[in-house]
């Protein structure tokens, strides 16, 4: 997805890279919990 948006020059904000990597926003390694959503 990131490569395609770069190729097509679409703006993108990757929240997963900006948010803390802990259980305050994720319930496992890659899925947002209610607080993260």
Per-residue DSSP letter, 32: B
Radius of gyration of the chain (CA): 12
Identify the band that residue 36 occupies on the pLDDT scale cut at 50, 70 and 90.
Answer: confident
Q: pLDDT tens digits for 5-30?
A: 889 888 988 877 888 888 888 888 77
What is d(CA 2, CA 24) in angstroms, rounded to the nearest whole number? 25
* Pairwise CA distance, residues 36 & 15, whole Å: 9
Q: How many CB atoms neighbour CB 32 within 10 A?
A: 14
Residue 4 pLDDT class (50, 70, 90 cuts): confident
3-state DSSP call for residue 18? helix
């Amino acid at each position: 997805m990131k490569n395609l948006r770069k190729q097509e020059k679409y703006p993108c904000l990757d929240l997963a890279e900006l948010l803390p990597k802990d259980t305050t926003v994720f319930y496992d390694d890659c899925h947002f919990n209610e607080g993260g959503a």
